[in-house]
A and B are shown apart, each in its own frame.
Chain A
Amino acid sequence: MLEIKDLDVNYGKIAAVKGMNLEVGPNEIVALIGNNGAGKTTTLKTISGLIVPRSGSIHFNGHRIDRLPVHLIASLGIVHVPEGRKIFGKLTVYENLMIGAYLQKDRAKIQGNLDRVLSLFPILKQRLRQHGGTLSGGEQQMLAIGRALMAEPKLLLLDEPSLGLAPLVVEKIVETIVSIAKSGIPILLVEQNAKMALEISSRGYVIETGEIVLSGSSRELLESDRVRKAYLGVA
C-alpha cells in the first residue's frame, strides 16, 4: 500500500530524516516510535505532502506521491491526523466533521459516515453546535479522528493521538484505533508512548535522529533490549 524508499528530508541544512525505508501493508497497524525530535512528525508530514523530500520516493497504491500537492495526496485517501489535533477552533464541531468530508460528493454517504462517527463518539453528538475550540483535549482528539473518518480514508496517519490525554481517554482512543484497523483501514501510528503503540500494532519501526535503527514485528520489538531500555523504561 504505502512504500517509502531511501527517503531523505532536510530542514534547511539539517537532515531530519535519513535514508528511510518503511512500508505499510493492507489491514495492519504499523507503529513508528522514537523520542521527541527523532523525525516521526517529519515523516508523516512528508507522506501527506506538507514537506517536500530532498530525495527518495513514496508510493501509495502504485501512485508516486512524493511531489504531489497536499490536497491531491488527500484525494488519494491518505488522511493525516496531525500532532496537536489541529481542530478548526472557530468552526463548529459539525463543520469540523463536514470539512473532513470536503472531497466526498455523495450526500447519503456523508450522512452515513456522520452517523457512524457520532455513534463511535457519542459525546460529539451533544457538542455539534459548539465551536471546536471549546472541547476538552480528549474530545478534540475524538473530533480529529472523526473528521478523518469522514474522509473515508484508505490509509490513516495518526500523529501522537495519546499525547496529553488522561489514561481513561487514552484507553478509549486506543480502542477506537484498533476498531478502525479492524474495519479494514491501515494505520501508520506515530507515538512516544512506545508500549501502547507496540501493543496494538503488528509491526514497528524505531527511529533515532532521523534514521530507522530497528524494525520488526511489534512483539519482537517489545522484547528487544534496546527498545526496553530506551523506550519502555526497563533497566
Chain B
Amino acid sequence: MIFQQVINGLTLGTTYSLLALGYSMIFGVLSFINFAHGDIAMVGAYVAWYCFVGLRRGFIPSCLLAMLACAVLGVTMEKVGYMPIRRAPRLAAVIASLGFSFILATGVQVIWGTQPQQMPPVIDAVTYRVLGVTFNSIQMGVVVLSIVIMGLLQLLIHRTKVGMALRATAIDRDTAGLMGININNIISFTFALGSVLAAISGIMVAVYYGALYPSMGGVIGTKGFTAVVLGGAGSIPGAMVGGILMGLIESLAGTFMPSEVRDAVAFLVLILVLLIKPSGLFGREMVKE
C-alpha cells in the first residue's frame, strides 16, 4: 500500500518538479514569484489537447506545438508585463502575474469552455505488477522523461555558456551586464525555457488524470509554488527535490486522509515551511524579498 503510494507520488512529484523549475528560474533572475506560471502549464495542456483531439494531429507534434506556444506566451508576458516594471518593487510584478493568471484562465474558458475536457489515452497503457505494486507505462514514461529533462537542464545550466550567463544574471544583473551579457535576452530565454517545462508538466498532468480544466493552472501552480518554497527559492536542485517531496506528501496524505483534503495538504506544507524554515531546504529566504 505504502509502496503503491510512493510510486504514485513519484509520478505526480516529477511533474511538480518540472513546474517548480520554471518558478525557481524566474525567481532567480527577477526575484518574484510568477503566479501565472501554473496557468501557462494549463494553456500548454489545452493547446496539446486541442491539436491532438480537435485537429487530430499526432501526440508528439501536438506537444511540440504546445511547448512552442507556451514559450512565445511566456516571453510575450515578460516583455509586455514584467519588463516595464523591472525596477519597481517586486510586489508590483507579483500583482501583474496575478493579473496574467486571470487573463489566461479566463481566456481558455472563453475559447474552450468552462467544462473539463477529456484527454484520451495517448498510448495503450501497459500495466506492470512487481512485488504487489502496480504501475503502468504512462507513469513510467512521466517519471523517466521528467528525470531526463531535469538532467539535461542541469547540463545546460552548469556546462554551457548560456547557462553560465543565466547563473551570473541571477546573482547580479548589473554586473552581468558589465560582462557584455545581454540581460534582456537571458531573461527572455529564462521565460521561454520555464514555459516549455511548464507546458510539459501541464500535458503530463492532463495525460495522467485523463482530464483538463481551466482552473487546473491554479491547482498545480500551488503545488509547484509550494515545491519551490519547500526546496528553496532560486535553487534548481531545490525545485527538483521539492517537487518530488510534494508529490510524495500529497500521495501519502491521500492514503490516510479523505481525498477531498488532498489538495489542502499543499497549503499546510507551505505554512509549515514558512514557519519553520523560510529559506527552504536549499535556497535563500524569500519572504523578505
Contact = CB atoms under 8 A, between A and B. Distances in A.
B178 A70 contact: yes
Given A71-B183, A102-B165, A88 B172 contact: yes
Interface residues of B, number: 17
Contacts of A48: 178
Interface in B56-104: none
Given A82-B175, A102-B161, A88 B180 contact: no
B178 A95 contact: no
Contact of A100 (B171, B172, B179): B179
A91 B168 contact: yes
A99 B165 contact: yes
A88 B178 contact: no
Given A70-B183, A103-B180, A151-B180, A98 B174 contact: no
A216 B167 CA distance: 43
A50 B174 contact: yes
B181 interface: yes
B179 A151 contact: yes
B155 interface: no
A89 B164 contact: no
B263 to A, nearest CB: 35
A203 interface: no
Contacts of B172: 86, 88
B168 A99 contact: yes
A102 B161 CA distance: 8
Interface string A69-87: 1110011000110100010
A54 interface: no
Given A91-B164, A91-B167, A102 B180 contact: yes
A74 B180 contact: yes
Nearest to A48: B178
Contacts of B180: 71, 74-75, 102-103, 151
Nearest to B161: A102
Contacts of B165: 99, 102
Contact of B181 (A50, A86, A90, A102): A102
Interface in B137-184: 161, 164-165, 167-168, 171-172, 174-183
Contact of A82 (B168, B171, B178, B181): B178
Given A71-B182, A71-B183, A102-B161, A88 B168 contact: yes
A102 B168 CA distance: 11
B178 A99 contact: no
B33 to A, nearest CB: 21
B164 A80 contact: no
Contacts of A50: 174, 177-178
A11 to B, nearest CB: 13
Given A86-B172, A88-B171, A80 B161 contact: no
Nearest to A86: B175
Contacts of B171: 88-91
Nearest to A85: B175
A90 to B, nearest CB: 6
Contacts of A86: 172, 174-175, 178
A86 B174 CA distance: 10
B164 A71 contact: no
A97 to B, nearest CB: 11
Contacts of A74: 177-180
A90 B284 CA distance: 13
A91 B172 CA distance: 11
Contacts of B179: 74, 99-100, 102-103, 147, 151
Nearest to A80: B178
B106 to A, nearest CB: 36
Nearest to B172: A86
B167 A88 contact: yes
A27 to B, nearest CB: 23
A89 to B, nearest CB: 7
A216 to B, nearest CB: 30
A69 B181 CA distance: 11
B175 A88 contact: yes
A3 to B, nearest CB: 21
Given A48-B178, A50-B178, A82-B178, 11 more contacts: A50-B174, A74-B177, A75-B180, A82-B174, A82-B175, A86-B172, A88-B176, A91-B168, A98-B164, A99-B168, A99-B181
Interface of A: 48-50, 69-71, 74-75, 79-80, 82, 86, 88-91, 95, 98-100, 102-103, 147, 151
18 contacts: A50-B174, A50-B178, A69-B177, A70-B174, A71-B180, A71-B181, A74-B177, A74-B180, A80-B178, A86-B172, A86-B175, A88-B171, A88-B172, A90-B167, A90-B171, A102-B165, A102-B180, A103-B179
